[in-house]
Amino acid sequence: MKGLKSDTEIINQIFEHIDLGTTDLGEEVWKEPVENYTSQKRFDEEISLLRRLPVAFAPSTALPDKGSYIARPVAGVPIIVVRDKSKKLRAFRNACRHRGKTLVEGEGKTSVFRCRYHGWAYGIDGSLQHIPHEAGFPDLDKGCHGLTPIHEVTEQGGLVYVCIEDPIDQGALGNMPQLIKDDQQIFDYTVSSQAFNWKLNIEATMEGYHIKPTHKETFYPYGYDNLNVVETFGRNSRITFPFRRIEDLRSTSEEKRDIAGKVTYVYSVFPNCNVAYLSNHISVQISEPISPTETQYFWYRLGKVSGVETEKDIERMKKDARFVSEIGLDEDFEVIAGIQEGLKSGGNTHFTYGLYEKAIAHFLKNLTDLIKR
* Chain segment 217-262, per-residue pLDDT in tens: 999 999 999 999 999 999 999 999 999 999 999 999 999 999 999 9
**Exposure string for 259-271, b = 16+ CB within 10 A, e = fewer:** beebbbbbbbbbb
Q: Are strands 89-93 and 77-83 parallel, antiparallel or unpaired?
A: antiparallel
Sequence-ordered list of residues with C-beta below 8 angstroms from that of 120, at least 6 positions apart, any chain? 96, 97, 98, 114, 128, 130, 131, 132
> What was the pLDDT predicted at 329?
81
Cis check: omega of the bond before 64, within 30 degrees of 0: no
pLDDT over 70 (residue 125): yes
Prediction pTM value: 0.94
Mean pLDDT of 210-214: 96
Strand residues in the chain grouped as ranges (E): 30-33, 55-59, 68-74, 77-83, 89-93, 106-109, 112-114, 121-123, 128-130, 152-156, 159-163, 186-194, 229-233, 236-242, 263-269, 273-277, 281-291, 294-303, 350-353
Apex 5 CA angle, 182 and 259, nearest 5: 70
> What was the pLDDT predicted at 262?
96
d(C-alpha 111, C-alpha 120), whole Å: 14
Task: Output the CA–CA distances (angstroms, integers) from residue 108 to 79, 111, 117, 163, 228, in the order listed.
Answer: 14, 10, 20, 22, 40
> What was the pLDDT predicted at 322?
80
Categorize the per-residue pLDDT at 316 as very low, low, confident or very high, splitting at 50, 70 and 90.
confident
Apex 202 CA angle, 181 and 41, nearest 5: 125
Tens digit of pLDDT for each residue in 74-83?
Answer: 999 999 999 9
> What was the pLDDT predicted at 313?
79
Mean pLDDT of 353-364: 98
> What was the pLDDT predicted at 342?
97
Collapse the DSSP code of 254 into the 3-class scheme (helix H, G, I; strand E, B; otherwise coil) and give the result.
Answer: helix
> What was the pLDDT predicted at 306?
58
Tens digit of pLDDT for each residue in 139-191?
Answer: 999 999 999 999 999 999 999 999 999 998 766 676 788 999 888 889 999 99
Domains of the chain: 7-52+180-372 (3.90.380.10), 56-163 (2.102.10.10)
Categorize the per-residue pLDDT at 302 as very low, low, confident or very high, splitting at 50, 70 and 90.
very high
> What was the pLDDT predicted at 293?
97
Assign residue 85 a region (left: φ > 0; alpha: ψ between -120 and 50; beta: otherwise): alpha
The secondary structure of residue 136, as a DSSP letter, is G
> What was the pLDDT predicted at 307?
57
Mean pLDDT of 61-88: 97
> What was the pLDDT predicted at 280?
87
> What was the pLDDT predicted at 1?
45
